[in-house]
Structure 1
């Protein structure tokens, strides 16, 4: 495995104002005084070659340098730099980037087809691994991110089956952390660091979306009805206790049953009840 190391380079301004002027002055002196004309020609060729050693490094950029196929280092220091002219230099961006996957269809761990997509925030931290360990690190990021997303989505249910279950819809932060770790495990060998990974789209597939919506509505209705019944029973119990405590009226078991039935109808009904005034006997 190739790991990143510091490459050789000099400050470009020092090279421009010190090294090259010395070479040029030496060449000019020998040419004027006709001293060693052959070495002077060689010196002039070397001076021209040295101009090819200048290069610029922008902020959040790295220059991966190779010599005849061998990796010799990476330069990340910004500004004008000078290195050996025979070094081949490849620019690698170290800036933070976003990758948004397309909507993919996958089955959750309950077998329900769902649509899911993600946004991955990443950057290159090891330029040598990014350049030499994979063929195209940008394509590698996109393919491996979608593969990790598909594997993660098939490990969890869309909706929780129990209160303690972790699901795609009910625990977004936990799911994001799991997805980030899974993507990082795959991209670490390519010198890439994942800063964040979040679900950007989550829905049932169109063929089952209507049925799942009905199931969710039924679950919501059952939960609401349960709360209503619990509250109604409590209110009926409180009403009977108050009547008995204040001795407003003596009720036998039959009258209590009738009163409980009427109160439950009033409290649990979907529509507002219409009052009926009974002017005769309760019997």
Structure 2
């Protein structure tokens, strides 16, 4: 009769103690916030005109910025993962810089690029285009901070799947564009979707760069995080209720991202 070997999870027993403390550290503030929600007025608080306008603007701009991340991030990830050229490491480091920069610094950089007296803003002003403190500025700020999430996710997936299938397709006579469309993108689709979801989540929660570059004009640039910040000074109940809405959206997004990654691992 075969003997079943004992199971081993590879984790020392003492590791569970700091792991549990870490979990409590993350979960406890969320629980504390939930206990402060005025549930009797919850629906009223999150459906006020200013709250709905902020939520609508956040969703609209986050969708557009995610589209821009896909448009720009997919080529960047492909170049970083597949091409070889001088300065590639420097380009990767600069691409990932928004991940470690304080968002307000990114907002200042965007302001001095697209503002009225910025590097490009002066020329755009002559053409009658004013970007700073507009809805377009919100989209640019969100794209600036979210783009690295897509690039990192997709580049990692590209390196993980390798290039053997692309090489086979190329040896059979397929042109690079056809290989990209019929081989590469289907292979990395889970990583691409995961990166897009993470970019959307980061855009939805963006605050510092948006406030610095776009300001806080209701219906124009005041996204949900900005509305929460302002309501915190005047109506704490509304701020907590709107924060819970963002938490719920974040949980949904993280769950969706984990589902995509799990599909990629088993697929």
TM-score range with shorter-chain normalisation?
Answer: under 0.3
Work out which of the two has the higher radius of gyration on C-alpha atoms and give 1 or 2.
Answer: 1
TM-score scaled by structure 1?
0.23
TM-score scaled by structure 2?
0.25
Which structure carries more strand by proportion?
1
Which structure carries more helix by proportion?
2
